[in-house]
Structure 1
């Protein structure tokens, strides 16, 4: 895949960028390694000042950066601008809280370990490689970079090949804000070259957000070199509506959950599992709202759904829908490619899915929702847990016992009650099963790439 900006709304190539040579990659890793040594010696206060300056750059340039994001990957412009501001907010969060998150912890009674004092401390690992996707070109990177840099690490970025201008902006952002030269470096390379970077002895760990095959590959290489890895992979999140829930509110939220980012989000609600007593009401409301969505140019503020980011991604979506159609599923709305330039796909709702339909198990990355009728709460839980994924989930109920039962039994890294999944810098983010391992965000996410050092004193 070429390193290029190809506008998904038109299919036209906007910019082609030359990849970095092996010599350039080596130089950038060296710069990051040197920066990591400097960052270890800086204070939280210094790093916080630089991080706040970087956040200010984002807020100041939000409109232009939003347009860049939309041209590179196609999300509606208001969502792109909101992504930029969300990044700035997370950066300020870590500037404010990192010293507390990484503070030493002293054992209350050191005599239990025959010491006069015993404590633990968090120290940076060094240079960490981030392999990031295109769907949130800035947010996916910043939610790694802000905690990593505030912990005293340096970062390397292998970004998705279709968002190179976003990568180049991030390559200079932190230095512009005052961080040492090389603190964060983008590597314009192909996927086949990632293994060599992970194996480099100057690189101490890797984090990846992406597909399951990519995660398997990165984890295998990291394991072979005994390096820390954090993986956030795919998701086919269940959105469960029970008979006690607010059906109209659930349907309205379900639409936002499914079409946010043009449906291209790992944590989007994708499988809508509805108790039979309210299924017909929900299905009618949900389908009507999905069919009324305005599809068009994502730079138009009135547009609600833009194109799928890549032609191959749309082809994958078409294959999944056609497989379901051929096996007898019911298309309640959509299910076609609009007659227009670019990589658009109609907002689609599919019901009556047979067990052998690929949609039952595979992730849909686009504005396609699958609808399931559950005979009772036990059946709803069975359907929710039947995939190999376990990223997030949502449950709509006004019954406290139902709420507790689903929270306890859903196979997921998160459960959202009467709402849709959203990533917040204050809350840990990550999954189980084939959705990956490790956590991002909050305090625990920052500590993933720190050495937890135990100190014992006689």
Structure 2
């Protein structure tokens, strides 16, 4: 492969073709980013903040253009693309506002006599960011904003299918006044990427993607003694407990499964329903999933667009077919319509059990797995019966009980109670187990790639 070609998954039409960079060209971009870092690091946090605020302003001014580009490249609903631009702007603004305090020097004491100590958070250098296609702006932005504030430079290897979005993001950052070489976008293959990780100017590596990709990148980085942050996949469980409000549970379950066409790492995927409310929840849930309008993602009335590519369509189709062959029952959907485009319908699978992709793995598409639990205790056990641990949810009218379950028993990095949402700039984002490690947002991401330096004064 010497070129990258992007295609519209709704129509199959070619959007653009880009030449891959040679390893020498990629290294030169990395070296340019390092040189820009040497100047950028001299600025105080307060001096960096206005650059981030200006980027937010420029992103908002290009909302319609960016949303349309993301829809054409990945099939996401146009309105979801507009929301994504706003989330990115909010992340830059949050980082600009809070970064100087989060990263400020801390006064401490040391020794028997309580001598003065200072803890300072100093930048490392170039952070290598490897990002997926499902949120073409948000995924790179959450790395970029935090690391620009910390004083680092950033080199982005984006998913090939949203190459245009990555390049446009860089152009707009430069338009906003960011030093041109501080944020680079490189178009390279996986082998070149592995060698780039080993380059001495790369001081940290962050990846969002599958657990398989995380294992590979984490292994390459660890051999080179590079710190990593890995935000990987999940098959998040949303529990519907015995005292759940069914209307609320169904509303947010449909939203949580179909958001971003079902292609979200932290979306609701497994629905674990206590026996007492199982039949009433499933009947209402299936009714609403059947009524979902699928079609052109540019259309405001459409609720579900295509999957991001033909390859993604085939993956989801195979996962459903394998689950059905092993005993899962299709309650709605499960068969793609005739015609052009990578469209897969809203689907509900019941009688899901271990050994099926619908139980064990992440289905990155609009497919819900319903699992019956004997009672609330059994539901909690089933929710944790996963190699993943990114997010999850609890539907329960006893908020104190739900909070206790979320805090003390749910083995995930994030839990939603009687609601659904993807990310918030003020709350940490990340997981445990095969969903990876490290945290972004909420101030935590700004400290992932810094030198936490201890200075001892007499």
Q: Could you say whether these structures have the same fold, taking a TM-score greater than 0.5 normalized by the shorter chain as the test?
A: yes
Corresponding residue for 1:103? 104
**1:112 & 1:24 partners in 2: Cα distance?**
51
Corresponding residue for 2:437? 437
Aligned 8 A contact 1:47 1:179 in 2: no
**1:258 & 1:17 partners in 2: Cα distance?**
33
Corresponding residue for 1:233? 232
Corresponding residue for 2:27? 26
**1:312 & 1:422 partners in 2: Cα distance?**
24
SS in 1 for 2:352: coil
- Structure 1, residues 275-319: CA drift from partner, whole Å, max 9, x if none? 111111110111011110110010111111000001111111111
Q: Which runs of 5 or more structure 1 residues have no equivalent in the other structure?
A: none
Aligned 8 A contact 1:158 1:186 in 2: yes
Matched, 1:12 2:6: no
**2:35 & 2:433 partners in 1: Cα distance?**
37
**1:362 & 1:76 partners in 2: Cα distance?**
25
Aligned 8 A contact 1:395 1:415 in 2: yes
1:22-421 map, 5 Å = 22-107=23-108, 110=109, 112-114=111-113, 116-399=115-398, 400-421=400-421
- Pairwise CA distance, 1:115: 5.2
Corresponding residue for 2:428? 428
- Pairwise CA distance, 1:420: 1.4
Poorly superposed stretches of 4+, deviation over 3 Å: 111-115
Inter-CA distance 339–417: structure 2 relative to 1 (3 Å threshold): same
**2:70 & 2:120 partners in 1: Cα distance?**
39
**1:209 & 1:222 partners in 2: Cα distance?**
14
Aligned 8 A contact 2:110 2:117 in 1: no
Aligned 8 A contact 1:332 1:348 in 2: yes
SS in 1 for 2:397: coil
Aligned 8 A contact 2:131 2:158 in 1: yes
Deviates more, 1:307-316 or 1:133-142: 307-316
Deviates more, 1:36-45 or 1:444-453: 36-45
Aligned 8 A contact 2:110 2:456 in 1: no
- Structure 1, residues 210-265: CA drift from partner, whole Å, max 9, x if none? 01111111111111111110000001000111111111111011001000000000
**1:300 & 1:39 partners in 2: Cα distance?**
43
What is the aligned residue count? 456
TM-score normalized with structure 2 length: 0.97
- Pairwise CA distance, 1:178: 1.8
**1:3 & 1:395 partners in 2: Cα distance?**
42
**2:88 & 2:110 partners in 1: Cα distance?**
45
Inter-CA distance 41–352: structure 2 relative to 1 (3 Å threshold): same
- Structure 1, residues 149-202: CA drift from partner, whole Å, max 9, x if none? 011100000000111101111222322222223110001112222111110001
**2:186 & 2:409 partners in 1: Cα distance?**
42
Inter-CA distance 204–402: structure 2 relative to 1 (3 Å threshold): closer
Aligned 8 A contact 2:23 2:192 in 1: no
Aligned 8 A contact 1:392 1:421 in 2: no
**2:421 & 2:44 partners in 1: Cα distance?**
35
Q: Which runs of 5 or more structure 2 residues have no equivalent in the other structure?
A: none
